[in-house]
Amino acid sequence: MQTNSTEPYNPLTIALHWLMFVLMVGSYTFIELRELFPKGSDPREAMKALHFMVGLTLLLLVLPRILVRLSSSTPKIIPEPPAWQHSAAKMAHLALYLFMIVMPILGWLMLSAAGKPIPFYGLELPALIGEDKELAKFIKEIHETIGEIGYYLIGLHVLAALFHHYFQRDNTLLNMLPASLAHRLRIDQ
């Protein structure tokens, strides 16, 4: 059960948060870098495979991330922001968690429907559905649209953290940083 605390997030919560951030950046980076290479080329296919594998890694880690978040205390924000900001933060976090679940599943469904292999670090995962090229195109459109929305969602999350730190001057960002970095930032303020 989640409780409030004056302590920062626990180290596991912090580690999972930053690991998932790095994986999201990696997933986006690989799918964007594929555009540098001709269609059908080995480097382009490698970028796509890396994108798929990183996305599936996010899916694998999201349940532990949610369980750790729900079972850990949440630090109090000092000074406390207005109630509307708490509500907005809850909605944004819910959207991010849904994003981390839905996007990899859509990618897996898309590859399944396209009749393509689902790579996962040397393994090939089973298809979730049977081959259906038209369905694959439809799922791809949804995946790409939500992916575009994800840029804004992640950007908003980053901007909110920076807003809290530099304008509201509260401890929101500091609570999610590793202790040594948070300590250095507290000294610099």
Residue in 185, 176, 183, 141 with CA at minimum distance from that of residue 157? 176
CA distance linking residue 93 with residue 96, whole number of Å: 5
| Domains annotated on the chain, with CATH | 4-188 (1.20.950)
CA 11-16-19 angle, to 5 degrees, is: 120
Q: What is the mean pLDDT of the chain?
A: 93
Q: 186 pLDDT exceeds 70?
A: no
Residues of the chain above pLDDT 70, percent? 93
CB 64, CB 77: distance < 8 Å? no
CA distance linking residue 55 with residue 65, whole number of Å: 15
Give me the residue label for tokens 């897996």: 108
Q: For residue 44, what pLDDT is reported?
A: 97
In the structure, what pLDDT confidence band is assigned to residue 189 with cuts at 50, 70 and 90?
low
Q: Among the residues of 1-132, which ranges form H helices?
A: 11-33, 42-71, 83-114
Listed range (9-13, 22-26, 89-93, 178-182) with the worst mean pLDDT: 178-182
pTM, two decimals, is: 0.90
pLDDT digits (tens, 9 = 90+) for 107-138: 999 999 999 999 999 999 999 999 999 999 99
Residues of the chain above pLDDT 90, percent? 88
CB 4, CB 76: distance < 8 Å? yes
